[in-house]
């Protein structure tokens, strides 16, 4: 009897938190996606009254609108593509970094991990604004790049307000979420396994591909999920760094709610975004499970 | 030509000398054991042989070829690690096949050889299991099979039985000896367990503080320890301080502090040395009520101070007249209830003159 009370005492608050801030809002959104828009935006009343009595005022039309215009499908696919690119770049950059931290001396490890999470100490928007300066036409970096291109006989490029800037921003913001799970799993790896592989004839490259990497796959999957899911739905970075060509689905959702005040359609897009992210995550975890005992 | 030659190898870590000018040679097909307490340098020496570490001085030669600069993957030497270091993401089969894959052996041949190897170590039918699904003994056998599959010239074993329980240890020891004779590959076995070393080895090198104290066959390591450390570390031993009185070809006369004169055999006499210790195994000391008149025996009267009944044997601590203590190990060979000497009872202890070894300091 007492054990059961203790369980509720520990599990109750987080459960209540999830119900209030996750389950209920999701439910409200699901219901909103079937409702009609109000005459000045927002939502029309869910019930209406006529001679026959009270009726529910619901529609499936909001969902049909997703496919009425190819625009939305295109933005979805573009967001998916940017999120995948971001995940891939983060993995390629984060893996060597995590490996380096995990294999450095115990004392310097804590410092290096601290450096990885240091950006979190400053405001997200300030960090993204910094990239506006770095990628802007007056920046030393872009100047040097264009100098090199001119020297090679190529046209100068513009970075800010392009899809390239969006992906750079996405990679920058999400990198720590890839580094940390990779570091956590690489740091736990038994160094004796690498000794054994080397002793049994494996060179450095084979040791990595046959021992280190396969054993780090849970960290790769965790990092990929932590990067992919938020990158898929983000709006702030394309808002600040992307031009008209870099719009992502998060921007469209934000526009529906704030500018167009079309709450039902905004809800529909949100639900489609969430469902596709969940489907991709489930798909990857199924593949992941099959590849491991 | 010996298979493995270690020539004047020294390895220092800062001020600490882990391996101090060690020279050893190991023959093909030999079961050779490095025995010593933890921190004696045996594991460091093993890592030097495997190539995980480089000596500060001296050289390691395999088949007459200097191994310096050759990484572990380039040496024809495999290791069974203390933790076994089985790859947790690979099945038993894939673990055992690993060295063959690294050597780019054809897949069809790999399959056959893995099957044979699994039969050799009694793991047939377990190929699809993962290391986490195996018992300690099975893991140990996978590690041995994996290290032996492409027939290295030399197999190093780093305390491979430390993780097994006592009962299992004995049967695994027999398996290891049989396997070693079967494959004919030289084993270098590291352990701190003297019982294991005596049971398994063709020869033992006893190490202490980075130096080799004695290299010999097990019976001579036990029966004729060369110095105080070896006598004390291997098995149980009475160590009685004394001075040499006189020595001749057959035996020497020793004056034991607080006990009196005894006869014993001595190691060759270093010039000027007189102080030393008489090493006397407890099982070579007889205990009785009646005095023996045998002229080959050293005999003293004393009282039983205490005894420990150990099942197969009983260990008596006998206090001699002048307060010195001697331990005697008596087999409980008689049927029925053994009759014990009681504490305080007057007894005499005796041992043959050649049971005691006088070791110079």
Work out the number of other CB atoms within 10 angstroms of the CB of residue A6: 9
Task: Give me the pLDDT at residue B18, please.
Answer: 95
- All residues of chain B having their beta carbon less than 8 Å from the beta carbon of residue A293 are 89, 91, 130
Residue A191 distance to chain B (closest CA, Å): 9
Task: Give me the pLDDT at residue A47, please.
Answer: 86
Task: Give me the pLDDT at residue A52, please.
Answer: 85
CATH number at residue B17: 3.40.50.300
CB spacing of A195 vs B98 below 8 angstroms: no
Residue A51: inside a domain: no
Residue A291 distance to chain B (closest CA, Å): 10
Out of B195, B211, B228, pick the residue that ends a domain. B228
- All residues of chain B having their beta carbon less than 8 Å from the beta carbon of residue A210 are 87, 98
Which position has the higher pLDDT, B79 or A159?
B79
* Mutate which: B49, B102, B130, vs A, most A CBs within 10 A: B102
Nearest chain A residue to B131, by CA? A293
CB spacing of A198 vs B73 below 8 angstroms: yes
A116 lies in which domain range?
A: 70-290
- All residues of chain B having their beta carbon less than 8 Å from the beta carbon of residue A190 are 83, 85
CATH number at residue B277: 2.40.50.100
Read off the pLDDT of residues A190-242 as tens digits, 9 standing for 90 and up: 999 999 999 999 999 999 999 999 999 999 999 999 999 999 999 999 999 98
Q: Does A188 touch chain B (CB under 8 A)?
A: no
Residue A50: inside a domain: no
Identify whether the C-beta of residue A267 lies closer than 8 Å to the C-beta of residue A27. Answer: no
Whether the pLDDT of residue B303 is over 80: the answer is yes
How many domains, in total, are found in chain B? 2
- All residues of chain A having their beta carbon less than 8 Å from the beta carbon of residue B85 are 190, 192-193, 195-196
- All residues of chain A having their beta carbon less than 8 Å from the beta carbon of residue B147 are 199-200
Structure-token pair, residue A106? 């115990």
Q: Are B349 and B333 in the same domain?
A: yes
Task: Give me the pLDDT at residue A40, please.
Answer: 85
Please name the residue ranges forming H helices in B61-186.
92-102, 107-120, 136-148, 166-183
Task: Give me the pLDDT at residue B356, please.
Answer: 87
Read off the pLDDT of residues A32-42 as tens digits, 9 standing for 90 and up: 999 998 888 88
Report the mean per-residue pLDDT for chain A.
91
Task: Give me the pLDDT at residue A174, please.
Answer: 95
Q: Are B126 and B145 in the same domain?
A: yes
Between A200, A210, A215, which is nearest B78 by CB? A200
CB spacing of A198 vs B88 below 8 angstroms: no
Q: Are B196 and B246 in the same domain?
A: no
Task: Give me the pLDDT at residue A222, please.
Answer: 92
Residue B101 distance to chain A (closest CA, Å): 9
Between B85, B91, B150, which is nearest A196 by CB? B85
Burial class (CB in 10 A: 0-12, 13-18, 19+), B232: middle
Read off the pLDDT of residues B231-259 as tens digits, 9 standing for 90 and up: 999 988 999 988 888 887 778 888 888 78
CATH number at residue A272: 1.10.3720.10
Q: Are B283 and B173 in the same domain?
A: no
Q: Does A286 touch chain B (CB under 8 A)?
A: no
Task: Give me the pLDDT at residue A191, please.
Answer: 93
Nearest chain A residue to B150, by CA? A200
Q: Are B220 and B273 in the same domain?
A: no
Q: Are B354 and B223 in the same domain?
A: no
ipTM of the complex: 0.84
How many domains, in total, are found in chain A? 1
The model's pTM: 0.84
Read off the pLDDT of residues B192-235 as tens digits, 9 standing for 90 and up: 999 999 999 999 999 999 999 999 999 999 988 988 999 999 98
Q: Are B307 and B180 in the same domain?
A: no
Give the separation between CA A174 and CA A82, rounded to whole angstroms: 13
Out of B228, B258, B274, pick the residue that ends a domain. B228
Closest to B257 measured CA to CA, from B269, B246, B245: B245
Report the percent of chain A where pLDDT is more than 70: 98
CB spacing of A197 vs B103 below 8 angstroms: no
Residue A284: inside a domain: yes
Residue A63: inside a domain: no
Q: Where is average pLDDT lowest: A37-41, A174-178, B79-83? A: A37-41
Nearest chain B residue to A205, by CA? B102
Which position has the higher pLDDT, B269 or B349?
B349
Read off the pLDDT of residues B108-158 as tens digits, 9 standing for 90 and up: 999 999 999 999 888 999 999 999 999 999 999 999 999 999 999 999 999
Nearest chain A residue to B128, by CA? A293
Whether the pLDDT of residue B48 is over 90: the answer is yes
Kindly give the pairing relationship between strand B154-158 and strand B186-191. parallel
Give the separation between CA B79 and CA B52, rounded to whole angstroms: 11
Residue A203 distance to chain B (closest CA, Å): 7
Give the separation between CA A133 and CA A123, rounded to whole angstroms: 16
CB spacing of B102 vs A202 below 8 angstroms: yes
Residue A206 distance to chain B (closest CA, Å): 8
B101 lies in which domain range?
A: 4-228
Residue A244: inside a domain: yes
CA atoms within 13 A on the CB side of B359: 21
Between A201, A292, A293, which is nearest B102 by CB? A201
- All residues of chain B having their beta carbon less than 8 Å from the beta carbon of residue A208 are none
Beta-carbon contacts below 8 Å between A and B: 59
Task: Give me the pLDDT at residue B336, please.
Answer: 60
- All residues of chain A having their beta carbon less than 8 Å from the beta carbon of residue B71 are 198
Whether the pLDDT of residue B335 is over 80: the answer is no
Kindly give the pairing relationship between strand B260-266 and strand B346-352. unpaired
Residue A278 distance to chain B (closest CA, Å): 27
CB spacing of A190 vs B98 below 8 angstroms: no
**What's A253's DSSP letter?**
H
Task: Give me the pLDDT at residue B110, please.
Answer: 96
- All residues of chain B having their beta carbon less than 8 Å from the beta carbon of residue A191 are none
Residue A205 distance to chain B (closest CA, Å): 11
CB spacing of A195 vs B71 below 8 angstroms: no
Q: Does A252 touch chain B (CB under 8 A)?
A: no
Task: Give me the pLDDT at residue A275, please.
Answer: 93
Read off the pLDDT of residues B6-30 as tens digits, 9 standing for 90 and up: 999 999 999 999 999 999 999 999 9
Residue A227: inside a domain: yes
CB spacing of A200 vs B99 below 8 angstroms: yes
Closest to B100 measured CA to CA, from A201, A213, A211, A198: A201
Between B71, B81, B103, which is nearest A196 by CB? B81
Q: Are B164 and B55 in the same domain?
A: yes
Residue B157 distance to chain A (closest CA, Å): 12
Beta bridge partners of B34: B190, B205
Say what angle helices A163-188 and A124-135 make with each other, to 10 degrees: 120
CB spacing of B89 vs A202 below 8 angstroms: no
Give the separation between CA B326 and CA B349, rounded to whole angstroms: 8
Out of B186, B203, B228, pick the residue that ends a domain. B228
Q: Are B67 and B197 in the same domain?
A: yes
Q: Are B148 and B243 in the same domain?
A: no
Report the mean per-residue pLDDT for chain B.
90
Task: Give me the pLDDT at residue A108, please.
Answer: 92
Between B85, B89, B102, which is nearest A192 by CB? B85
Whether the pLDDT of residue A292 is over 70: the answer is no
Read off the pLDDT of residues A1-18 as tens digits, 9 standing for 90 and up: 567 888 888 988 999 999
Closest to B150 measured CA to CA, from B87, B82, B201, B104: B104
Identify whether the C-beta of residue B42 lies closer than 8 Å to the C-beta of residue B48. Answer: no
CB spacing of B50 vs A199 below 8 angstroms: yes
Range 196-225 of A in CB contact (< 8 A) with B: 196-203, 206, 210-211, 214-215
Nearest chain A residue to B104, by CA? A201
CB spacing of B99 vs A201 below 8 angstroms: yes
Sorted by sequence, the CB contacts under 8 Å of residue A175 that are 6+ apart come out as: A90, A93, A94, A116
Whether the pLDDT of residue B338 is over 70: the answer is no
Which position has the higher pLDDT, A198 or B358?
A198
Q: Are B66 and B96 in the same domain?
A: yes
Whether the pLDDT of residue B77 is over 90: the answer is yes
Between A190, A206, A293, which is nearest B102 by CB? A206
Q: Are B74 and B213 in the same domain?
A: yes
Read off the pLDDT of residues A130-159 as tens digits, 9 standing for 90 and up: 999 999 888 888 889 999 999 998 888 888
Residue A94: inside a domain: yes
**B326 φ, ψ to 5°?**
-130, 135
Q: Does A2 touch chain B (CB under 8 A)?
A: no
């Amino acid at each position: 009897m007492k054990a059961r009370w203790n369980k509720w005492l520990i599990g109750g608050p987080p459960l209540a938190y999830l119900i209030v801030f996750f389950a209920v809002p999701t439910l409200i959104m699901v219901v909103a996606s079937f409702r009609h828009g109000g005459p000045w935006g927002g939502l029309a009343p869910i019930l209406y009254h006529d001679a026959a009595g009270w009726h529910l005022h619901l529609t499936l039309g909001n969902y049909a609108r997703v496919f009425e215009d190819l625009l939305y499908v295109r933005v979805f696919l573009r967001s998916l593509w940017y999120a995948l690119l971001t995940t891939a770049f983060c993995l390629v950059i984060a893996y060597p970094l995590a490996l380096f931290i995990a294999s450095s001396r115990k004392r310097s490890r804590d410092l290096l991990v601290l450096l990885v999470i240091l950006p979190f100490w400053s405001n997200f928007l300030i960090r993204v604004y910094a990239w506006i300066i770095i990628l802007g036409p007056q920046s030393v970096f872009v100047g040097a790049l264009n100098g090199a291109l001119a020297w090679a006989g190529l046209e100068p490029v513009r970075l800010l307000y392009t899809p390239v800037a969006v992906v750079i921003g996405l990679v920058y913001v999400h990198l720590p979420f890839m580094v940390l799970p990779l570091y956590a799993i690489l740091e736990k790896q038994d160094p004796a396994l690498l000794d054994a592989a080397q002793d049994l004839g494996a060179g450095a490259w084979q040791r990595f591909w046959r021992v280190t990497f396969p054993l780090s796959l849970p960290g790769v999957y965790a990092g990929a999920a932590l990067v992919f899911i938020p990158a898929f739905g983000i709006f702030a970075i394309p808002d600040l760094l992307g031009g008209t060509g870099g719009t992502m689905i998060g921007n469209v959702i934000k526009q529906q709610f704030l500018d167009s005040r079309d709450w039902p359609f905004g809800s529909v897009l949100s639900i489609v975004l969430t469902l596709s992210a969940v489907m991709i995550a489930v798909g990857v975890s199924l593949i992941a499970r099959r590849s491991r005992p | 030509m010996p298979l493995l030659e270690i020539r004047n190898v020294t390895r220092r870590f800062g001020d600490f000398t882990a391996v101090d000018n060690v020279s050893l040679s190991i023959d093909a097909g030999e079961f050779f054991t490095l025995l010593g307490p933890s921190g004696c340098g045996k594991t460091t020496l093993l890592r030097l042989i495997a190539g995980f570490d480089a000596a500060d001085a001296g050289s390691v030669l395999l088949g007459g070829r200097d191994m310096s600069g050759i990484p572990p993957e380039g040496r024809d030497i495999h290791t069974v690690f203390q933790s076994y270091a089985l790859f947790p993401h690979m099945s038993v089969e894939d673990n055992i096949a690993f060295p063959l894959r690294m050597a780019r052996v054809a897949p069809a041949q790999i399959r056959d050889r893995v099957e044979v190897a699994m039969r050799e170590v009694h793991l047939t039918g377990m190929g699809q299991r993962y290391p986490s699904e195996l018992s300690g003994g099975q893991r140990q056998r996978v590690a041995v099979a994996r290290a032996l599959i492409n027939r290295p010239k030399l197999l190093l074993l780093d305390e491979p039985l430390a993780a097994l329980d006592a009962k299992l240890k004995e049967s695994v020891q027999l398996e290891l000896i049989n396997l070693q004779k079967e494959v004919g590959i030289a084993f270098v076995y590291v352990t701190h367990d003297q019982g294991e070393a005596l049971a398994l080895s063709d020869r033992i090198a006893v190490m202490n503080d980075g130096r080799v104290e004695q290299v010999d066959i097990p019976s001579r390591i036990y029966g004729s320890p060369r110095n105080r450390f070896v006598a004390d570390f291997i098995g149980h031993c009475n160590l009685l301080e004394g001075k040499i009185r006189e020595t001749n070809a057959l035996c020497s006369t020793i004056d034991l502090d607080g006990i009196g004169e005894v006869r014993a055999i001595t190691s060759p006499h270093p010039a000027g040395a007189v102080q030393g210790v008489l090493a006397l195994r407890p099982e070579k000391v007889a205990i009785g009520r009646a005095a023996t008149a045998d002229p080959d025996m050293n005999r003293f009267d004393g009282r039983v101070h205490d005894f420990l009944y150990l099942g197969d044997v009983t260990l008596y601590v006998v206090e001699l007249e002048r307060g010195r203590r001697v331990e005697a190990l008596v087999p409980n060979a008689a049927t029925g209830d053994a009759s014990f000497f009681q504490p305080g009872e007057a007894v005499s202890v005796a041992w043959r003159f050649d049971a005691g070894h006088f070791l110079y300091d």
